[in-house]
Amino acid sequence: MRKLYFIILFLVTSGGLLTCQAQSLVLKSKDTHIRYTGRINMTDEAAEFYWTGSSAVINFKGTGVSAVLQDERGENYFTIIVDGKVTNTLHLENAQKTYTLAEGLPDGNHSLELFKRTEWDKGKTTFVQFILDKGASILPAPPVKKRKIEFFGNSITCGYAVEDTTGQDRGSAPYENGYISYAAITARHYDAAYVATAKSGIGVLVSWFPLIMPEMYNRLDPTDPTSLWDFTKYTPDVVVINLFQNDSWIVKMPDNPQFKERFGTKPPEADQIVKAYREMVKNIRKKYPKAQILCILGSMDATKDGSPWPGYIEKAVASLSDKGIYTHMIPYKNTPGHPSAKEQQAMADDLIAFIDKNIKW
């Protein structure tokens, strides 16, 4: 009788272990097996994604992964990358929901990245947890990448309209893809950690809305002027600034509301433009004293022949007398609208060639 009792106890216990082992594995947002990149706000319950390019990466052994997410407005899109290859695009709803990110994978070791491809004006995304399929196990978090890069930019950096192949240059969420912008392509080329502090329509002196880069560059939550980013959390080796395209248009539009707000009735003089750019770069340099800073412009019409805007940048940088700050102009693409996927790749190729020639990192 006693022997039978122990046999039954063993079977019950073993069954319990098997049941436990077969449960789905949940990784809450603060789990240290998750590697985040970007200006992400960590609350007690979730991680809040705002910016283009914000990402979460895990390594695991198993066949599939899901995630619990909630989008503020149901407008954001995410790219899913499994084992270094794009496998899916996820369009989020504004209700909290469990989304399948990957399924039916060969049972083995895998990496998965959740990459925000749309920008912050589409609303924030709340990431609650990853859920690994039954029988899966978590592996150590990916190591911190040796190289780090940060881009300060506008719609070009955000990948605005990059997937609109109709020629309509639509910047709505389905056609925006920061994953295939020149900036993200450049970062992947160097296997560098990537942060994009960028917003379509933004400028240095004036934007299409009441916010300019010198007012936004230091924010965690870009919609909240009191939400300040801790610059010690991410220290890039290389900083790329690609701004002035929007300024170049709006300074010629005296009836534009933001022109009136920023300048009154008279457009800024050249010295004022140079000073504004110089001060912005100085502020970024204060945050990143050891970074190599690339002040670039292109590939829209701010770099076409006869444009004064490359000269403004060159003059501003020369006045700083800083050997760690470079200028580089990407040629005008000479086509309508924002850069296409092919033109974004060409920009990346141009920038990579410049970095290879001039930057040691």
Q: Indicate the domain borders of the chain.
A: 25-138, 147-358
Q: Write down the pLDDT at residue 6.
A: 43
Place of tokens 């190729």: 349
For residues 149 and 234, what is the distance between their CA atoms, to the nearest angstrom?
A: 9
350: Cβ–Cβ under 8 A, 6 or more apart, which residues? Answer: 298, 299, 330, 331
Q: Could you tell me how many residues make up the chain?
A: 361
Provide the residue type at 118 as one letter: T
Per-residue pLDDT of the chain (361 residues; tens, 9 = 90+): 444 444 444 444 444 333 334 588 999 999 999 999 999 999 999 999 999 999 999 999 999 999 999 999 999 999 999 999 999 999 999 999 999 999 999 999 999 999 999 999 999 999 999 999 999 999 999 999 999 999 999 999 999 999 999 999 999 999 999 999 999 999 999 999 999 999 999 999 999 999 999 999 999 999 999 999 999 999 999 999 999 999 999 999 999 999 999 999 999 999 999 999 999 999 999 999 999 999 999 999 999 999 999 999 999 999 999 999 999 999 999 999 999 999 999 999 999 999 999 999 9
Q: Write down the pLDDT at residue 22.
A: 57
First to last CA, the chain: 73
- pTM of this prediction exceeds 0.75: yes
Q: CA of 294: how far to CAs of 176, 190, 232, 305, 332, in Å?
A: 25, 16, 20, 21, 18
- CATH fold match for the domains 25-138 and 147-358: no
User: β-strands 292-297, 238-242: how paired?
Assistant: parallel
CATH architecture of 25-138: Sandwich (2.60)
For residues 247 and 263, what is the distance between their CA atoms, to the nearest angstrom?
A: 12
Q: In the 3-class helix/strand/coil scheme, how is the chain assigned residue by residue?
A: CHHHHHHHHHHHHHHHHHHHHCCCEEEECCCCCCEEECCCEECCCCEEECCCCCEEEEEEEECCEEEEEEECCCCCEEEEEECCEEEEEEECCCCCEEEEEECCCCCEEEEEEEEECCCHHHCCEEEEEEEECCCCEECCCCCCCCEEEEEEECHHHHCCCCCCCCCCCCCCHHHCCHHHCHHHHHHHHCCEEEEEEECCCCCCCCCCCCCCHHHHCCECCCCCCCCECCHHHCCCCEEEEECCHHHHHHCCCCCCHHHHHHHCCCCCCHHHHHHHHHHHHHHHHHHCCCCEEEEEECCCHHHCCCCCHHHHHHHHHHHHCCCCEEEEECCCCCCCCCCCHHHHHHHHHHHHHHHHHHCCC
Show the tokens assigned to 87: 């496998």
For residues 247 and 258, what is the distance between their CA atoms, to the nearest angstrom?
A: 11
For residues 53 and 99, what is the distance between their CA atoms, to the nearest angstrom?
A: 19
Q: 147-358: CATH homologous superfamily?
A: SGNH hydrolase (3.40.50.1110)
